[in-house]
């Protein structure tokens, strides 16, 4: 461990409650991007078996750990504590962090804990650490406990979708994957992955052109569900706007493009390699800089650090065929992005949205990846048809996959009433009750376990899925107190 890592550990281990911060820091030392959870699963198995607890792995790769009730609590309803093991791997441009090998370097920054230029993994590492702490603690009261550690939540929810009926024994599920302390979530959005592939032939670049590299960077990005309503810039939309304008007014030719990296993160960066006729280059550069200033002014409030640059670059050997390029640019320009509709049932809740997440060129094709979200399945299906119609008209091949249901709010939930009463008793105020425009695993788990009483809650986390991710220290203490007190108040079996 380097000096910075040692300092981070020393700082975090001084935070309260020490048990949860100890477990979270241990998780930050274990690489765990989606699809590569092997090391963290080995650690959890060793941890739980070291406590003498029953530990199993299901066919989807999820871990289930069971802890008996404390004496006198055996007749209480069983509680499933659920959190996902994987994290989103995002880092700042130029950062050399290897998410498959390197530990996350954490920093205590005033009231917050953040990482050094990468995602922190508090989403959902704090939830995992809380479940671990319940398993480890010897001084709390609870009925039968199951800790369900799911895999692959961030890249497809295959762990939750592969969970079979009959595996879980509990009657109540507490999902520890929300990001606003003091808020109880009773519903979430469903989602659908969309991929559109443009067949594009390359052609030799004619003589008399100059090459340039265009880059868009410095955007905040963020979670494509939790942050989609904040009006932040989308690097793919910004880049396409620049390219389309230059195509129409200066005859731009495109050689390659790459923007965004994850379907559930608002894209922060994009890079394109282009060519402009030499005798039109000066006019292009003047116009480009004017367009860049306009876009920066538009996004000044939401993204004050937006950088738009154009630099000389080597001449590409080939560029996209002109008519196919026109269809591609127009389709991306027309592609819906951001909030489509707000909820009519819950004030301030986004109902339906789309994230234009990834644009990437490969030899002979350009691929566009989007993530459609909605708490209303019919609205999501309508958005899917809108986008399918748009891209098919432009000559792209559509593909949809990974659809999962939303979680319908139940205001009559018995555990909701219990948790509302506990929160008011402990903190002297009522918790907020809401739904979230994000893909919690509750929707999938509830489909496999109809009737399971579910609530999602957690500490305050800001800017998840981006290098700006941070968790509020004081909220972690409240979250832990609330969890412990809730477990003690779970009623008996009916």
Per-residue pLDDT tens over the stretch 97-155: 999 999 999 999 999 999 999 999 999 999 999 999 999 999 999 999 999 999 999 88
* Residue 20 shares a structural domain with residue 151: yes
On the 0-12 / 13-18 / 19+ scale of CB atoms within 10 A, 351 is: buried
- Separation CA 83–CA 188 (nearest Å): 15
Is residue 494 one of the residues assigned to a domain?
Answer: no
CATH code of residue 30: 3.40.630.10
State the Cα–Cα distance between residues 355 and 336, nearest whole angstrom: 8
Whether residue 198 is contained in a domain is answered as: yes
Residue 318 lies in a domain: yes
Contact criterion met (CB below 8 Å) for 212 and 312: yes
pLDDT digits 0-9 by tens, 242-258:
999 999 999 999 999 99
Residue 93 confidence class, pLDDT cut points 50, 70, 90: confident
The domain in which residue 57 lies consists of 3-188+407-489
Does residue 281 share a domain with residue 219?
Answer: yes
Q: How far is CA 161 from CA 61, 158, 300, in A?
A: 11, 5, 40
Confidence of residue 9 (pLDDT cuts 50, 70, 90): low
Answer whether residue 411 shows pLDDT above 70: yes
- Catalytic residue numbers, as ranges: 86, 153
Task: Mark whether 234 and 369 lie in a shared domain.
Answer: yes
pLDDT digits (tens, 9 = 90+) for 189-222: 999 999 999 999 999 999 999 999 999 999 999 9
For the stretch 157-180, pLDDT in tens is 899 999 999 999 999 999 999 999
Residue 294 counted as domain residue: yes
Helix (H, G, I), strand (E, B) or coil at 93: coil
> Are 202 and 316 part of one and the same domain?
yes
CB 197 within 8 A of CB 391: no
Average pLDDT over residues 370-383: 93
Residue 280 is classified by DSSP as: G
- Given 404, 431, 462, which residue is the final one in a domain? 404
183 and 214 co-located in one domain:
no
Average pLDDT over all residues of the chain: 94
**Would you say residue 6 has pLDDT above 80?**
no
Distance CA(84)–CA(123), nearest Å, equals 8
Confidence grade of residue 1 (pLDDT, cut at 50, 70, 90): very low
- Do 204 and 67 sit in the same domain of this protein? no
Q: Are residues 199 and 264 in the same domain?
A: yes
Residues 414 and 275 in one domain: no
What pLDDT score does 8 carry? Answer: 56
> In this structure, are 258 and 345 located in the same domain?
yes
Assess whether 237 and 300 both reside in one domain. yes
Residue 394 pLDDT class (50, 70, 90 cuts): very high
In a 3-state reduction of DSSP, which class is residue 54? strand
Write down which residue in 379, 404, 429 finishes a domain. 404
Give the CATH number for residue 392. 3.30.70.360
On whether both 314 and 439 belong to a single domain, the answer is: no
32 within a domain of the structure (yes/no): yes
pLDDT at residue 348 tops 90: no
Do 333 and 385 reside in the same domain of the chain?
Answer: yes
Confidence of residue 405 (pLDDT cuts 50, 70, 90): confident
Last residue of one domain, picked from the residues 404, 433, 461: 404
* 271 phi and psi angles, rounded to 5 deg: -145, 135
Does the residue 225 lie in any domain? yes
SS3 152: coil
CA 52 to chain centre: 34
440 inside domain: yes
Number of domains within the chain: 2
């Amino acid at each position: 461990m380097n000096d910075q890592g040692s300092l981070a550990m020393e700082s975090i281990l001084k935070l309260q409650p020490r048990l949860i911060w100890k477990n979270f820091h241990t998780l930050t030392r274990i690489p765990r991007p989606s699809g590569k959870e092997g090391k963290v699963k080995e650690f959890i198995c060793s941890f739980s078996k070291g406590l003498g607890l029953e530990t199993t792995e299901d066919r989807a790769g999820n871990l289930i750990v069971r802890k008996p009730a404390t004496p006198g609590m055996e007749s209480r309803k069983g509680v499933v504590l659920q959190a996902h093991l994987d994290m989103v791997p995002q880092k700042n441009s130029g950062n050399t962090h290897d998410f498959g090998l390197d530990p996350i370097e954490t920093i205590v920054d005033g009231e917050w804990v953040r990482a050094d230029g990468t995602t922190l993994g508090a989403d959902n590492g704090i939830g995992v650490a809380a479940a671990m702490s319940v398993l480890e603690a010897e001084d709390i009261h609870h009925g039968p406990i199951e800790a369900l550690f799911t895999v692959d939540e961030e890249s497809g929810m295959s762990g939750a979708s592969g969970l079979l009926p009959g595996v879980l024994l509990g009657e109540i599920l507490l999902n520890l994957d929300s990001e606003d302390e003091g808020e109880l979530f009773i519903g979430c959005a469903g989602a659908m992955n969309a991929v559109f592939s443009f067949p594009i032939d390359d052609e030799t670049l004619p003589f008399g052109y100059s090459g340039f590299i265009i880059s868009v960077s410095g955007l905040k990005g963020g979670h494509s569900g939790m942050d989609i309503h904040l009006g932040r810039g989308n690097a793919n939309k910004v880049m396409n706007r620049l390219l389309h304008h230059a195509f129409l007014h200066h005859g731009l030719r495109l050689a390659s493009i790459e923007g965004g990296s994850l379907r559930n993160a608002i894209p922060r960066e994009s890079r394109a390699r282009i060519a402009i006729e030499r005798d039109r280059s000066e006019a292009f550069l003047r116009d480009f800089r004017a367009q860049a200033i306009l876009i920066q002014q538009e996004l000044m409030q939401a993204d004050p650090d937006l950088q738009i640059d154009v630099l000389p670059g080597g001449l590409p050997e080939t560029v996209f065929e002109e008519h196919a390029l026109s269809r591609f640019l127009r389709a991306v320009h027309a592609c819906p992005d951001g909030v489509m509709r707000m909820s009519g049932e819950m004030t301030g809740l986004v109902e339906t949205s789309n994230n234009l997440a990834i644009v990437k060129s490969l030899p002979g094709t350009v691929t566009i990846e989007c993530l459609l979200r909605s708490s209303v399945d019919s609205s999501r299906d309508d958005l899917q048809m809108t986008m399918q119609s748009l891209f098919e008209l432009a000559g792209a091949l559509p593909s949809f996959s990974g659809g999962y249901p939303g979680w319908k709010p139940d205001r009559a939930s018995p555990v909701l009433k219990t948790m509302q009463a506990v929160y008011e008793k402990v903190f002297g105020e009522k918790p907020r009750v809401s739904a979230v425009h994000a893909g919690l695993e509750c929707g999938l788990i509830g489909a496999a376990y109809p009737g399971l009483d579910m609530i999602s809650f957690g500490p305050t986390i800001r800017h998840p899925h981006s290098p700006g991710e941070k968790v509020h220290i004081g909220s972690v203490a409240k979250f832990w107190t609330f969890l412990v007190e809730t477990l003690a108040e779970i009623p008996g079996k009916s």
